[in-house]
Structure formats: C-alpha cells, structure tokens
C-alpha cells in the first residue's frame, strides 16, 4: 500500500488529494480550553479524511457511469455503421473519430478506477487513526471535568492565605491531570 503523502494524483479529480499523517498532538493541551481547541482541530481533520473517502466513492460511481455511457454510445455508433453498411450507404468519417474518442474516455476512466481503491484504503486508515486520537482527547478532557461540567480546580493549599487554589488543573502528558502551573502547587 502506498503511504498517504505519496498517493498519486487522481486524473480529473483535483479534490482527491494525498495528505499528511496526523498522529498525537505536537504539544499536549494543558487546560480544558486548550483541549477544546485541539479537539476542534482533530474534528476538522477527521471530517477532512471522511470527505476524502466519500469523494472517492462518488468518483468511482461517476467513472463507472461514464464507462457505461461511452459503451452505449459506441454500441449505437456500431449499430449505425452496420445499418448503413447493410443499406449500402457511405459511413461518415466522424463516426470512427467519435468511437475512438469514446474508447479513449473509457481508457481514462479505467485508469482512474485503478487508482481509486488505493486512495480510498489509505484515507480510510488515516480517518480511523485520526478518530482514535480524537476519542483519546475527548476521554482525557472528560477526566479534567468536575461532576457539574466545569473544569476541576487545582485545590492546592499552598497559597498565600492557605485557601484551596482555584486555578484549573493542568494536563501533563504521561501523568494526566495534576496541579496548576504555579510552581509549588
């Protein structure tokens, strides 16, 4: 299987493009609002991958339709040639050119159809990979929320007056949600 960035261009389909792999976020979000922004970004990436797969399926349907139409056109032209030959009439030269152009169109459509499965497989795998990261981010974000849906508070008593710190907890990769970013908390 060809990697996602090295996918060949699909002739006649500029919307079917190669792409880049998306792995874990380059820097893990720290606060709930950072998580929200990162989740929104990953939702967009998942939608992009999903639309690539959908456009691929649409392209396949349309190319198969073009092949059917061109094949029917060639059959009509051949029927016209046979009818004119049987009647002893001359056959216009443009009929052979029309058949040749239809055969070229069928060859181009077959070329596109050969490239589409590889493209769809690569994008479907990338869509699943992006969805996995999105699910992970959502799950980690949920761990940072209190029962009432607000961000959990740091709660450290190492404040000037000894009352619990009211800053949001901070997420650290590998250790999860912990105290806020104030040193000593």
Selection from 60, 50, 47, 48 nearest residue 118 by Cα: 60
Is the pLDDT at 27 greater than 80? The verdict is no
| Distance, CA of 178 to CA of 31 (rounded, Å) | 10
Instruction: Compute the mean pLDDT over every residue in the chain, rounded to the nearest whole number.
Output: 90
Phi–psi pair at 176, nearest 5 degrees: 80, -150
Is the pLDDT at 66 greater than 70? The verdict is yes
* pLDDT for the residue 2: 66
Mean pLDDT of 10-39: 85
Q: Which segments of the chain are extended strands (E)?
A: 170-172, 176-178
Q: Is the dihedral of CA 110, 115, 117, 123 positive or negative?
A: negative
* pLDDT for the residue 49: 94
Mean pLDDT of 8-32: 84
Residue 126: exposure state from Cβ atoms within 10 A (0-12, 13-18, ≥19): buried
| Distance, CA of 165 to CA of 157 (rounded, Å) | 6
* pLDDT for the residue 54: 95
CB 53 within 8 A of CB 123: yes
Is the pLDDT at 26 greater than 80? The verdict is no
List pLDDT tens digits, range 79-114.
999 999 999 999 988 999 999 999 999 999 999 999
């Amino acid at each position: 299987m060809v990697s996602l960035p090295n996918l060949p261009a699909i002739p006649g389909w500029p919307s079917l493009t190669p792409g880049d792999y998306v792995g874990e976020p380059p820097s893990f979000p720290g606060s709930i609002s950072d998580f929200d922004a990162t989740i929104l970004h990953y939702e967009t990436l998942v939608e992009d991958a999903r639309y690539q797969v959908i456009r691929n399926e649409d392209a396949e349907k349309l190319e198969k339709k073009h092949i059917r139409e061109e094949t029917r056109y060639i059959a009509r032209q051949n029927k016209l040639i046979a009818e004119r030959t049987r009647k002893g009439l001359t056959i216009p030269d443009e009929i052979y050119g029309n058949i040749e152009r239809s055969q070229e169109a069928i060859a181009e459509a077959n070329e596109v159809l050969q490239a589409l499965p590889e493209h769809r497989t690569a994008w479907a795998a990338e869509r699943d990979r992006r969805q996995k990261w999105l699910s992970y981010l959502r799950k980690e974000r949920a761990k940072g929320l209190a029962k009432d849906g607000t961000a959990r508070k740091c709660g450290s008593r190492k404040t000037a007056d000894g009352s619990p710190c009211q800053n949001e907890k901070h997420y650290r990769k590998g250790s999860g949600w912990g105290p806020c970013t104030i040193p000593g908390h």
